[in-house]
Every structure is written in C-alpha cells, then in structure tokens.
Amino acid sequence: MKTCLFLLFVATILIPSSPARSEETFPIVSANGFSCSNNDDLITCRGSFPGNPSPILEATGYKVVWIRGEYPTYRYTFFSDSGCLCRAEFKEGGDVKSQECTARFGETKTFKGGKSTFDWCKKK
C-alpha cells in the first residue's frame, strides 16, 4: 500500500500538467483627447485628433483598439493599450518622413522614418 501511494506521489510530480491557457491582458488608457471604457473584454474609445475636432471618432474592439485617421500628408494613430497618440508625416513617394508620438502623460518624442514607436509608447 505504501508503495502504491509512493508511486502515485511520484507520478503526480513527474507527469507534466497541461498549462492553463493564459490570455494576454491589455491596459486601457484614456489620454490625448480619447476616452476609453472596458466592458468585459470589449473596449470602446471615443475622441478626436488634434486640429480635427470634428468628427468625433469612436471605435470598439476586443481587448485593444487602435484608431487611425488618414489625411493628405499625414496619419494619426491612437493606441488604447498605452494612451499614446502618434502623428506620421509622409514624403512625396509615400514613405514615412517622421513620426511624433505623445505618451499618456504628455511626453513627446520624434522618430525618423518608419521606425517602430510601439516599444516607446508601451514604456511611457
């Protein structure tokens, strides 16, 4: 009997358990003229881009919302998971000339070309 209990104990240690499925959670940040709300995993953000107070834009998505506005020589993008607002300016051929991002607490940084702003926005 003790041998069976010992073997059962060893088996529970050695047999790998199936990992629980962990889903990534995203913070929801209202900033830079956008107000975001969370209903379970459904995110809704509403606001407008600087210099373009009308129309009010609204987007709803699952876990995270990125709102993008395209204009003749530039593009705005708002990220609900960081509250970051980025403005990209384009060259004549359509390549990104520069990007200026404003973090949720107002810190601004300019990126040359099409460099990724994602990491900077997440840290700020």
Question: Average pLDDT of 22-42?
Answer: 89
Which has the higher per-residue pLDDT, 16 or 53? Answer: 53
Question: Average pLDDT of 79-88?
Answer: 96
pTM here?
0.77
Which has the higher per-residue pLDDT, 45 or 54? Answer: 45
In the structure, what pLDDT confidence band is assigned to residue 76 with cuts at 50, 70 and 90? very high
Question: Average pLDDT of 80-107?
Answer: 95
**19 has a pLDDT exceeding 60:** no
For residues 84 and 102, the answer to whether their CB atoms sit within 8 Å is: yes
In the structure, what pLDDT confidence band is assigned to residue 55 with cuts at 50, 70 and 90? confident
- List CB contacts of 2: < 8 A, sequence separation 6 or more: none
Cα–Cα distance between 120 and 110 in angstroms, integer?
11
H or E segment to which residue 110 belongs: strand 108-112
Closest by CA to 104, choosing from 16, 54, 45, is: 45
